[in-house]
């Protein structure tokens, strides 16, 4: 959320009962504790379970083929005959009804307004206060709010949220329940409503910026006056501009203008944030204070030339992500998202597409703070021939306008948001009325936010070039098919093309198949139900990364790309989706479900991270049984050339060249033969100087466990997470890349075990048991901080190897 409310006095939160104090002019509290949950339809006998929000009721499993078995033809993937589809939505039990309830204690309601804000509720939410239904919101991904003032009374008030997920409503794992935060906002009757401000920066130069703030004020009578005063705070918190004016209410919005000298501009490299602090007074009494966080930056999309951020040519080096957090499911957690962004930024990513739904507010806030550009996208279906028959298509006509309005009003103050997408591969792109639906959505976005362009991810390139759909968008976005970019550029009026979704290369971390062939547009499957980490396999509609790199490099009109996907996700296990149980999670990710980077990470890093060099060797070098067999070695590197050595013997120099797409971006030794020992690569710069080297060794007998945490300390807020990577090493500390033993975790002290995963798309072990099998020699365990400072102790044990232990201070 872009608005940052600042509490004036503390609010008491007790288990089960939330006490609201009334002395503050505005008070927001996030309702995490004191909830109860039950699955199914509840009755007087229902045993309610105590839960903490955010909560995903389905992530606890168990996995089962029958949870989401479907007999369908996936038209979108070019299928014409029905087959048994397994694991499409993660094989988890999210379908059905569930209810949550809590009690809020409100001492006095006179002159106050109470609003519940739901960041997202999956799905078909009915919100009841003291038994009275006050709101219904079907789309599980969108944020919505409900004014509950008339239904609350002094004392204890019951809040209940009933939810229902239908089958065949999604193409991926949606999660279930109150999986995002719920907030209670307590204000004076006269107040700035939820998402009630809009900041734009009409003029941005190095020397000055003009800032315009639009403010809605609720609760005033016609003709009533209010004083509105705003201070603009710099990133360091200094007041750099201010303004106040008397506002006479006649149903309109108020606005104020500011001049900020020498603005600190927002960009991925320097994500500087300002705050507009607005105070509303009536009859000399302050009735509301409201913070709007924003950034100052300029964006221009220039035909033929590209996208310019603050005047600087910038290509989107983006990834698409679904919203689930692997073993944590859909239950949002800020530090899990932060971990994802840290990994992506180190890879050189500067943008994320929230495919294909509204994000959690925490993601948008983190992108603002950490410097990642966002393309926010609401829908996977419009009204025509929805891909998921019980999904958003059934609501589109009645709800699209409300859903778009909430999305844009919620996020339009975020400097990270650089573009809106109105849909993904919607069948309307070729169906009747598609251009009308497009125009309705695009016009609505423009009305709510005239400062950013609109795109849409299109895959039916022939149809959309022909029927006016692609030409109607601000920015045409194409999913895959880079071979058609040139034709699209020639035909379309925009003279800019976005790779709204690219690659969909498939690979399983640390798994390699021989021999290697580059199989583009080919459904390659293997008996082990894994895809090869040589990054040579894709699906019939998709390709390996190299051609997309070439498009970015060679075409000025290509403004960049969003790779499918940054992280593996639950569901869509292509190419193992047809009667291929137990596969139930994707292999499209550059990073796996356990948040562990695959080799592909380093291919993108070698192109996209301009600050720190990349030199990465694949495959691993533990190939008992392959002695004497051809075992190709690839090196993903930012250096132009390198020499490879096996046990000291040179295998020759390779230099990037234009002979094939792969030779442009990878160094490949296709004829190397396996012998145990050491593989070393020496990288050369343009002038032929040896500038870096890297080596891997064949590991010996497994000897001890190794633990690597992603954090040095945690916050004692009960919500902070640490990710431990667990591996096995030989006695000389060489990691054993093939080990698959069961490891057991124990967390005590100032925190608790939260979840585990290993990135294996076929693994059915529950995420919540404190044990996991290693996959390709690694697994991840996640622990959560408690609320009391101290030391969190993590210990891992396994048969046949020495244990390992790590301590993390919790402050
Ligand atoms: C695209 C689609 C994505 C995902 C991807 C897999 O066509 O937009 O949601 O299904 O294919 O390659």
> CA-CA distance, 725 to 714, in Å (whole number)?
16
User: How high does pLDDT run on average in the chain?
Assistant: 95
Marked catalytic residue, from 25, 164, 425, 754:
425
Please list the residues that pair with 597 across neighbouring strands: 591
> CA-CA distance, 128 to 179, in Å (whole number)?
18
DSSP 8-state assignment for residue 603: H
605-661 pLDDT per residue, tens: 999 999 999 999 999 999 999 999 999 999 999 999 999 999 999 999 999 999 999
Please list the residues that pair with 84 across neighbouring strands: 71
- Whether 568 is in the pocket of ligand 1, judged by its Cβ within 6 Å, is no
pLDDT at position 762 is: 98
How far is ligand 1, taken at its centre, from the CA of residue 77, in Å? Answer: 9
The pLDDT of 755-762, averaged and rounded, is 98
280-338 pLDDT per residue, tens: 999 999 999 999 999 999 999 999 999 999 999 999 999 999 999 999 999 999 999 99
The pLDDT of 431-459, averaged and rounded, is 97
> CA-CA distance, 783 to 746, in Å (whole number)?
10
- Is residue 162 left, alpha or beta, with left meaning phi > 0 and alpha meaning psi from -120 to 50? beta
> CA-CA distance, 600 to 618, in Å (whole number)?
10
pLDDT at position 492 is: 98
Are the C-beta atoms of 264 and 211 separated by less than 8 Å?
no
710-750 pLDDT per residue, tens: 999 999 999 999 999 999 999 999 999 999 999 999 999 99
How far is ligand 1, taken at its centre, from the CA of residue 73, in Å? Answer: 15
609-619 pLDDT per residue, tens: 999 999 999 99
> CA-CA distance, 173 to 388, in Å (whole number)?
13
Express as a percent the part of the chain with pLDDT over 70: 97
The pLDDT of 447-472, averaged and rounded, is 98
How far is ligand 1, taken at its centre, from the CA of residue 479, in Å? Answer: 8
- Whether 564 is in the pocket of ligand 1, judged by its Cβ within 6 Å, is yes
Pocket test for ligand 1, best of 319, 504, 505, 544 (most atoms within 8 A of CB): 504
- Whether 572 is in the pocket of ligand 1, judged by its Cβ within 6 Å, is yes
How far is ligand 1, taken at its centre, from the CA of residue 579, in Å? Answer: 19
Which residue minimizes the CA distance to atom 12 of ligand 1? 504
- Whether 172 is in the pocket of ligand 1, judged by its Cβ within 6 Å, is no
pLDDT at position 593 is: 98
- Whether 614 is in the pocket of ligand 1, judged by its Cβ within 6 Å, is no
pLDDT at position 240 is: 98
How far is ligand 1, taken at its centre, from the CA of residue 574, in Å? Answer: 10
Pocket test for ligand 1, best of 323, 387, 425 (most atoms within 8 A of CB): 425
106-156 pLDDT per residue, tens: 878 899 999 999 999 999 999 999 999 999 999 999 999 999 999 999 999
Angle at 724 between CA 723 and CA 730, to 5 degrees: 155
pLDDT at position 12 is: 30
Burial class from Cβ neighbours inside 10 Å (0-12, 13-18, 19+) for residue 14 reads exposed
Please list the residues that pair with 60 across neighbouring strands: none
pLDDT at position 519 is: 82
Please list the residues that pair with 477 across neighbouring strands: 457, 498
Who's near 659: CB < 8 A, 6+ residues apart? none
- Whether 548 is in the pocket of ligand 1, judged by its Cβ within 6 Å, is no
How far is ligand 1, taken at its centre, from the CA of residue 600, in Å? Answer: 18
Are the C-beta atoms of 280 and 532 separated by less than 8 Å?
no
Pocket test for ligand 1, best of 501, 542, 590 (most atoms within 8 A of CB): 501
- Whether 479 is in the pocket of ligand 1, judged by its Cβ within 6 Å, is yes
- Whether 425 is in the pocket of ligand 1, judged by its Cβ within 6 Å, is yes
- Whether 543 is in the pocket of ligand 1, judged by its Cβ within 6 Å, is no
> Position of tokens 């040095």?
712
In terms of Cα–Cα distance, which of 14, 17, 186 is closest to 102? 17
Which atom of ligand 1 has the smallest separation from the CA of 457?
Answer: 8
- Confidence bin at 15 (pLDDT 50/70/90): very low
Which residue minimizes the CA distance to atom 11 of ligand 1? 504
- Whether 469 is in the pocket of ligand 1, judged by its Cβ within 6 Å, is no
What domains appear along the chain, each with residue ranges and CATH number? 2-60+93-188 (2.60.120.260), 197-294 (2.60.40.10), 316-504+539-569 (3.20.20.80), 615-697 (2.60.40.10), 704-810 (2.60.40.10)
CA distances from 192 to 10, 188, 214, 788 (A): 21, 9, 11, 36
The pLDDT of 519-544, averaged and rounded, is 94
User: Which pair of structure tokens corresponds to residue 406?
Assistant: 């909430």
Q: Does the pLDDT of residue 14 top 50, yes or no?
A: no
Marked catalytic residue, from 377, 437, 501, 572:
501
User: Which pair of structure tokens corresponds to residue 590?
Assistant: 């550059």
How far is ligand 1, taken at its centre, from the CA of residue 564, in Å? Answer: 7
pLDDT at position 6 is: 28
Which residue minimizes the CA distance to atom 10 of ligand 1? 572
- Whether 500 is in the pocket of ligand 1, judged by its Cβ within 6 Å, is no
Burial class from Cβ neighbours inside 10 Å (0-12, 13-18, 19+) for residue 777 reads buried
Pocket test for ligand 1, best of 572, 585, 590 (most atoms within 8 A of CB): 572
How far is ligand 1, taken at its centre, from the CA of residue 75, in Å? Answer: 12
pLDDT at position 75 is: 80
Which atom of ligand 1 has the smallest separation from the CA of 77?
Answer: 7
> CA-CA distance, 671 to 652, in Å (whole number)?
11
One-character DSSP codes across 152-198 = --SEEEEEEEEEEE-TTS-SS----BS-S-EEEEEEESSBPPTT-EE
Which atom of ligand 1 has the smallest separation from the CA of 504?
Answer: 12
Who's near 532: CB < 8 A, 6+ residues apart? 507, 508, 511, 512, 513, 516, 524, 526
How far is ligand 1, taken at its centre, from the CA of residue 576, in Å? Answer: 14
User: Which pair of structure tokens corresponds to residue 246?
Assistant: 């008397």
pLDDT at position 11 is: 31
Which atom of ligand 1 has the smallest separation from the CA of 425?
Answer: 8
> CA-CA distance, 503 to 756, in Å (whole number)?
28
pLDDT at position 107 is: 75
Tell me which of 116 and 81 has the higher pLDDT: 116
- Whether 504 is in the pocket of ligand 1, judged by its Cβ within 6 Å, is yes
Ramachandran angles phi, psi of 341, nearest 5°: -65, -40
- 694 carries an active-site annotation: no
- Whether 288 is in the pocket of ligand 1, judged by its Cβ within 6 Å, is no
Which atom of ligand 1 has the smallest separation from the CA of 542?
Answer: 12
Q: Does the pLDDT of residue 417 top 70, yes or no?
A: yes
Which residue minimizes the CA distance to atom 3 of ligand 1? 564
pLDDT at position 3 is: 34
- Whether 377 is in the pocket of ligand 1, judged by its Cβ within 6 Å, is no
In terms of Cα–Cα distance, which of 198, 197, 160, 151 is closest to 182? 160
CA distances from 207 to 5, 243, 373, 643 (A): 30, 20, 24, 49
Residue 147: CA count within 13 A, CB half-sphere: 12
Q: Does the pLDDT of residue 499 top 70, yes or no?
A: yes
Which atom of ligand 1 has the smallest separation from the CA of 586?
Answer: 6
> CA-CA distance, 14 to 31, in Å (whole number)?
11
DSSP 8-state assignment for residue 781: E
Are the C-beta atoms of 603 and 503 separated by less than 8 Å?
no
How far is ligand 1, taken at its centre, from the CA of residue 425, in Å? Answer: 8
How far is ligand 1, taken at its centre, from the CA of residue 571, in Å? Answer: 12
- Confidence bin at 76 (pLDDT 50/70/90): confident
Pocket test for ligand 1, best of 89, 477, 562, 564 (most atoms within 8 A of CB): 564
pLDDT at position 20 is: 40
Tell me which of 570 and 74 has the higher pLDDT: 570
> CA-CA distance, 82 to 102, in Å (whole number)?
45
pLDDT at position 1 is: 33
pLDDT at position 520 is: 83
- 425 carries an active-site annotation: yes
What pTM was estimated for this model as a whole?
A: 0.96
pLDDT at position 5 is: 29
pLDDT at position 25 is: 87
How far is ligand 1, taken at its centre, from the CA of residue 338, in Å? Answer: 25
pLDDT at position 80 is: 87
- Confidence bin at 695 (pLDDT 50/70/90): very high
User: Which pair of structure tokens corresponds to residue 318?
Assistant: 């983006």
- Whether 321 is in the pocket of ligand 1, judged by its Cβ within 6 Å, is no
Which atom of ligand 1 has the smallest separation from the CA of 501?
Answer: 8
- Confidence bin at 19 (pLDDT 50/70/90): very low
pLDDT at position 77 is: 79
Is cis: bond before 54, omega within 30 of 0? yes
- Whether 501 is in the pocket of ligand 1, judged by its Cβ within 6 Å, is yes
């Amino acid at each position: 959320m872009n608005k940052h409310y600042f509490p004036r006095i503390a609010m008491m939160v007790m288990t089960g009962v939330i006490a609201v104090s009334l002395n503050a002019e505005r008070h927001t509290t996030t309702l995490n504790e004191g909830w109860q949950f039950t699955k199914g339809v509840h009755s007087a006998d229902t045993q309610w379970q105590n839960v903490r929000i955010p909560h995903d009721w389905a992530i606890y499993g168990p996995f089962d083929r029958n949870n989401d078995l479907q007999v369908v033809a996936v038209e979108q993937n070019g299928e014409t005959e029905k087959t048994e589809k397994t694991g499409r939505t993660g094989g988890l039990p999210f379908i059905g009804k569930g209810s949550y309830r809590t009690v809020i204690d409100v001492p006095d309601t006179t002159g106050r307004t109470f609003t519940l804000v739901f960041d997202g509720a999956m799905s078909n939410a009915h919100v009841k206060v003291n038994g009275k239904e006050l709101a219904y919101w079907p789309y599980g991904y969108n944020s919505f709010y409900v004014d509950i003032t008339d239904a609350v009374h002094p004392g204890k008030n019951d809040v209940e949220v009933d939810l229902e997920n239908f089958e065949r409503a999604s193409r991926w794992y949606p999660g279930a329940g109150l999986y995002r935060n719920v907030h209670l906002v307590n204000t004076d009757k006269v107040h700035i409503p939820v998402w009630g401000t809009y900041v734009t920066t009409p003029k941005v130069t190095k020397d000055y910026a003009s800032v315009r703030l639009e403010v809605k004020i609720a609760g005033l009578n016609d003709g009533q006056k209010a004083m509105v005063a705003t201070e603009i705070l710099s990133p360091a918190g200094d007041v750099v501009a201010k303004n106040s004016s008397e506002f006479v209410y006649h149903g309109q919005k108020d606005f104020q203008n500011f001049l900020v000298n020498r603005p600190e501009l927002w960009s991925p490299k320097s994500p500087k944030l300002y705050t507009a602090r607005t105070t509303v007074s009536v009859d000399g009494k302050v009735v509301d204070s409201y913070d709007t966080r924003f950034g100052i930056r300029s964006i221009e999309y220039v035909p033929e030339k590209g996208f310019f951020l603050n005047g600087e040519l910038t290509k989107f080096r983006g990834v698409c992500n679904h919203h689930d957090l692997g073993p944590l499911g859909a239950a949002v957690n800020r530090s899990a998202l932060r971990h994802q962004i840290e990994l992506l930024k180190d890879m050189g990513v500067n943008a994320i597409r929230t495919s294909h739904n509204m994000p959690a507010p925490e993601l948008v806030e983190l992108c603002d703070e950490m410097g990642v550009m966002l393309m926010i996208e609401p829908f996977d279906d419009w009204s025509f021939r929805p891909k998921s028959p019980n999904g958003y298509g059934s609501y589109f006509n009645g709800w699209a306008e409300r859903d778009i309005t909430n999305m844009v009003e919620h996020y339009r103050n975020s400097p990270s948001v650089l573009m809106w997408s109105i849909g993904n591969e919607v069948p309307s792109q070729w169906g009747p009325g598609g251009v009308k639906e497009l125009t309705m959505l695009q016009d609505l976005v423009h009305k709510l936010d005239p400062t950013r362009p609109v795109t849409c991810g299109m895959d039916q390139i022939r149809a959309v070039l022909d029927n006016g759909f692609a030409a109607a968008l601000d920015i045409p976005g194409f999913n895959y098919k880079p071979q058609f970019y040139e034709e699209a550029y020639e035909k379309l009026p925009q003279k800019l093309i976005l790779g709204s979704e690219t690659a969909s290369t498939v690979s399983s971390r640390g798994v390699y198949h021989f021999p290697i062939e580059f199989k583009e547009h080919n459904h390659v499957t293997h008996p082990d139900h894994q895809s090869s980490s040589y990054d040579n396999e894709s699906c019939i509609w998709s390709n390996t990364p190299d051609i997309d790199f070439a498009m970015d490099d060679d075409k000025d009109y290509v403004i960049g790309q969003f790779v499918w996907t940054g992280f593996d996700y639950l569901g869509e296990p292509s190419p193992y989706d047809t009667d291929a149980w137990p596969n139930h999670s994707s292999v499209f990710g550059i990073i796996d479900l356990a948040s562990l980077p695959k080799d592909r990470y380093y291919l993108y890093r070698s192109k996209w991270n301009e600050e720190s060099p990349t030199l990465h060797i694949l495959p691993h070098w533990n190939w008992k049984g392959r002695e004497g067999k051809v075992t190709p070695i690839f090196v993903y590197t930012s250096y132009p050339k390198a020499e490879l050595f096996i046990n000291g013997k040179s295998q020759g120099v390779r230099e990037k060249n234009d002979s094939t797409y792969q030779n442009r971006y990878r160094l490949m030794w296709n004829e190397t033969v396996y012998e145990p020992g050491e593989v070393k690569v020496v990288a050369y710069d343009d002038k032929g100087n040896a500038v870096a080297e890297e080596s891997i060794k064949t590991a010996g007998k497994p000897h001890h466990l190794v633990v690597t945490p992603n954090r040095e300390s945690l916050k004692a807020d009960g919500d902070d997470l640490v990710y431990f990577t667990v591996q096995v090493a030989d006695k000389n500390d060489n990691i054993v890349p093939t080990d698959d033993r069961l490891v057991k975790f124990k967390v005590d002290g100032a925190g608790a075990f939260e979840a585990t995963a290993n990135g294996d798309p076929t693994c059915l072990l529950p995420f919540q048991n404190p044990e996991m099998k290693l996959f390709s020699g690694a697994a991840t365990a996640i622990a959560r901080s408690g609320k009391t400072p101290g030391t969190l102790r993590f210990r891992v044990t396994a048969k046949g190897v020495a244990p390992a232990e790590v301590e993390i201070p919790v402050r």
